[in-house]
Amino acid sequence: MTDKKEHIVNSAVELFAEKGFEGTSIRELAAKAEVNVAMVNYYFGSKEKLFEAMVAQKAAYSRGMIDEIVKDKTLSDIEKIDRIIDGFVNRLFTNRKFHRIIHQELMLSQRENLQQAIVDILYPNSLAVKTLIDSAIKKGSFKKVDSALVIATVIGTINHVLLSKKMCNKLFGKEDSHVPYEDPKFIKRVGDHLKEIMHAYLLKN
């Protein structure tokens, strides 16, 4: 991919995350990427196709991680859960702007086919986690829990924390200028919380 195309995509992530799809104008986007307004259509064909191209490119980060962890025979089931939690926390915090876009898009009923594409990308992750837990339950290493909802708790917790800087700072007693999402201590704290919850919830005492 050429430099300019990539530059446009990166600017798009920023703006779409801040203002949403309809709230972002091509003029604004071109200004941020320092290219001509016509370039966006030249490269991507339309605003919507740029959006799709951005999703296709940036979504790559989410693939594969979970599978590798699940397959790893040196890890116990609960260790796998811990690794998966760390994996999600790191990826969602790192790619939080893109993740915000995905989040918005899933909520809206516009652009149905894009929604389908997103579901197709995210679903395998959820399924892999569910399968892992189900098999651990069968083996007797985990308690009988609602395996399909575990992933909702993990990702939901992270999402909720990523939702609003303002809310986050207020809850954790930081001043407004603090950026919790780049604070390693805070990131660790979220991971630890999830791991403790899951240990308590999944492991037989």
List of residues contacting DNA (CB under 7 A): 2, 4, 24-28, 35-43, 45-48
According to CB under 8 A, which residues from 134 to 153 bind a second copy?
A: 145-146, 148-149, 151-153
Q: CA 156 → CA 44, 49, 162, 199, distances in Å?
A: 33, 29, 10, 17
Q: Report the interhelical angle of 26-33 vs 37-44 (nearest 10°).
A: 100
Q: Which x/- pattern, by CB under 8 A, does the window 94-133 give for a second copy?
A: ------x--xx-xxxxx----xx--x--xx--xx--x---
Beta bridge partners of 142: 203
Q: Is 36 in the site for a second copy (CB under 8 A)?
A: no
Taking the complex as a whole, the smallest distance from the CB of residue 6 to DNA amounts, in Å, to 11
Q: CA 193 → CA 35, 62, 155, distances in Å?
A: 44, 22, 13
Which one, 47 or 178, has the nearer CB to DNA?
47
Contact 32, 15 (CB under 8 A): yes
Q: Is 31 in the site for a second copy (CB under 8 A)?
A: no
Taking the complex as a whole, the smallest distance from the CB of residue 159 to a second copy amounts, in Å, to 6
Helices (H) and strands (E) counted in the chain, each on its own, are: 11, 0
Which one, 47 or 130, has the nearer CB to DNA?
47
